[in-house]
């Protein structure tokens, strides 16, 4: 049986064909232009295969309230052509199969929870640090939506005195996590491509401090059993030991758990076990869930 998966991103739409268990067989990618141009390309590619269901992990914000008349629409996106676009409804109708949608980060969190770093645990926080910063949370097997859905990237942090750009770059908030620590913020602050910065560049200590503040805030709020950090910026693997150390320092010994010790924390703040495939695996699992829900 085949499942279709769409990873809907601000720059590209990655379509995959895979199995209900998350294995990927085929993939195609289209630039995110307007819905009129891009959606037919998605439908044409996925429509070539006999998929039984579709799972979508999308950039947001999204309407994820199943009772809402605009359920499955992109809401107030900075990508204006996609504002209020009913992505779930259109793809469901065009492809004629059951479909499910969630945020890209909730999908990745689901995959890491079921098949990756969170296997055997009962909660997991997945945070991507890339062009933006987003967090997906799974508790007891369920992706957390809440009132709208978590927007962990916009939690307000304490900027460092040594930060030459202490307000960050978010157009909505001063010194929120995304505004201070996403890839474009690093590049604007230091005037250099993040990929080209050496490991001893002061950017990384600052980056680690902000991500450690996020880890502490998340631990104090939902106490996840594991924190998975992915996305382009986290390709800088030297960030992991720095974030762990700064998280412990900020916690000041307050959380008593074997996992939150100098030895234990290397298994608590971790890279994605599924590597770059967390998102696609999560979208396939969402598709499989949509099929199960229809058959139930
Ligand atoms: P997106 O968030 O657009 O899905 P990515 O997660 O790859 O994609 O994030 C892209 C951002 O991550 C860019 O702003 C870039 O600065 C940063 N980035 C990508 N690769 C690296 C790297 N190897 N080291 C540091 N930063 C990186
Ligand atoms: Zn913000």
How large is the average pLDDT for residues 133-154?
Answer: 95
Q: Most distant CA pair in the chain: distance in Å?
A: 57
How large is the average pLDDT for residues 233-237?
Answer: 98
Q: Which amino acid residue places its CA nearest to atom 20 of ligand 1?
A: 232
Extended strands (E) in 123-238: 123-129, 133-139, 142-143, 227-230
> What number does the ligand 1 atom closest to the CA of 231 have?
6
- Token pair belonging to 197: 């910065």
* Ligand with an atom nearest the CA of residue 236: 1
How large is the average pLDDT for residues 112-141?
Answer: 97
Cβ contacts of 173-181, under 8 Å, gap ≥ 24: 177/133, 177/152, 177/153, 177/210, 177/213, 177/214, 178/132, 178/133, 178/153, 178/154, 180/210, 181/129, 181/133, 181/207, 181/210, 181/211, 181/214, 181/233
60 pLDDT above the threshold of 90: no
Q: Quote the percentage of the chain above a pLDDT of 90.
A: 96
How large is the average pLDDT for residues 261-270?
Answer: 98
Residues with C-beta less than 6 Å from any ligand 1 atom:
9, 11, 128, 130-131, 183-184, 187, 194-195, 231-233, 235-236
Q: Which amino acid residue places its CA nearest to atom 16 of ligand 1?
A: 183
68 pLDDT above the threshold of 90: yes
From CA 119, how far away is CA 122, in angstroms rounded?
Answer: 8
> pLDDT of 160-200, one tens digit each?
999 999 999 999 999 999 999 999 999 999 999 999 999 99
Helix H or strand E encompassing 18: strand 12-18
* Ligand with an atom nearest the CA of residue 12: 1
- Which of the four pLDDT bands, split at 50, 70 and 90, describes residue 78? confident
> What number does the ligand 1 atom closest to the CA of 130 have?
9
- Best CA proximity match to 98, nearest among 47, 42, 54: 54
Say what the pLDDT of residue 50 is.
Answer: 97
Asked if 14 contacts 26 with a C-beta cutoff of 8 angstroms, the reply is no
> pLDDT of 82-105, one tens digit each?
999 999 999 999 999 999 999 999
Say what the pLDDT of residue 142 is.
Answer: 95
Pairing of strands 24-31, 51-58: unpaired
- Token pair belonging to 67: 């009772």
Sign of the dihedral defined by the CA atoms of residues 96, 102, 105, 109, in that order: negative
Count CB-CB contacts under 10 A for residue 125: 31
Say what the pLDDT of residue 77 is.
Answer: 78
Task: Among 103, 193, 194, say which to mutate for ligand 1: greatest number of ligand atoms within 8 Å of CB.
Answer: 194
208 pLDDT above the threshold of 80: yes
From CA 181, how far away is CA 204, in angstroms rounded?
Answer: 10
From CA 62, how far away is CA 51, in angstroms rounded?
Answer: 24
> pLDDT of 267-277, one tens digit each?
999 999 999 99
Global pTM value: 0.96
């Amino acid at each position: 049986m085949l499942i279709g998966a769409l990873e809907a991103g601000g720059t590209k739409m990655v379509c995959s064909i895979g199995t209900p268990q998350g294995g990927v067989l085929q993939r195609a990618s289209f630039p995110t232009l307007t819905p009129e141009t891009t959606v037919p390309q998605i439908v044409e590619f996925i429509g070539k295969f006999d998929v039984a269901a579709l799972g979508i992990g999308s950039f947001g914000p999204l309407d994820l309230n199943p009772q809402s008349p605009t359920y499955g629409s992109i809401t107030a996106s900075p990508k204006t052509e996609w504002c209020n676009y009913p992505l779930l409804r259109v793809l469901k109708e065009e492809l004629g199969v059951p479909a499910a949608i969630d945020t890209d980060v909730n999908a990745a969190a689901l995959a890491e929870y079921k098949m990756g770093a969170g296997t055997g645990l009962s909660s997991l926080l997945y945070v991507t640090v890339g062009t933006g910063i987003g967090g997906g949370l799974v508790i007891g097997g369920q992706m957390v939506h809440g009132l709208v859905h978590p927007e962990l990237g916009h939690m307000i942090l304490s900027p460092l005195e040594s930060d030459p750009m202490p307000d960050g770059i978010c157009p909505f908030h001063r010194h929120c996590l995304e505004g201070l620590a996403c890839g474009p913020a690093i590049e604007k602050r230091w005037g250099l491509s993040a990929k080209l910065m050496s490991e001893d560049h002061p950017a990384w200590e600052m980056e680690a401090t902000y991500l450690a503040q996020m880890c502490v805030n998340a631990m104090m709020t939902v106490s996840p059993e594991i924190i998975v950090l992915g996305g382009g910026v986290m390709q800088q693997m030297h960030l992991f030991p720095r974030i762990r150390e700064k998280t412990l320092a900020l916690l000041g010994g307050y959380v008593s758990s074997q996992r939150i010790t100098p030895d234990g924390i290397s298994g608590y703040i971790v890279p994605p076990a599924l590597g770059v495939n967390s998102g696609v695996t999560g979208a396939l699992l969402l598709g499989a869930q949509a099929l199960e829900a229809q058959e139930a």
